[in-house]
Amino acid sequence: MESLYREMHAVMMLRIEDIKAIPITGDTAAERLACIIERRVRLYEEIMPIKTAADTQRQQSEFLQEAHESVVRLLRQMLQFLLPKEVKDDPDKFEALDVALSLETWRRLRQDQKLSVKNARRVWEKMVAAIIA
């Protein structure tokens, strides 16, 4: 099973690298966050099935636990790197954006609340706008 988990993780990391290559443009916090949202929507729609399957076994696998922590760290670093200074220098805003833009939040919107990609994205945009206001 561990070798299967490693293969799933490798596929997920390749997809993350592809999405990371999409440029972030804009000078304002709102413009940059719109690009971040676009990247995360694409990323999460790609990896959600793999990540959901892996998460069901995470407590039984040291590799999956470490991989999860690694992905969380990577997504936080990407957010920190991409956010405008005035947003990332506010610890409360950063933490709020990190959780708002998490895969767990996206999964809840898409699966538990049964929103379409378009509607989930609109909710995300409103959440982000409220956080940076």
CA dihedral 1, 108, 20, 2 (to 10 degrees): -10
* pLDDT per residue as tens digits for the range 51-72: 888 888 888 888 888 888 988 9
pLDDT digits (tens, 9 = 90+) for 19-32: 878 888 888 888 88
Is 98 in contact with 91 (CB distance < 8 Å)? no
Domain containing 52 — which CATH number? 1.10.357
How many structural domains is the chain composed of?
Answer: 1
Range of the domain at 12: 2-132
Rounded to the nearest 5°, which phi and psi values hold at 16? Answer: -60, -45
Q: How far apart are CA 69 and CA 59, in angstroms?
A: 12
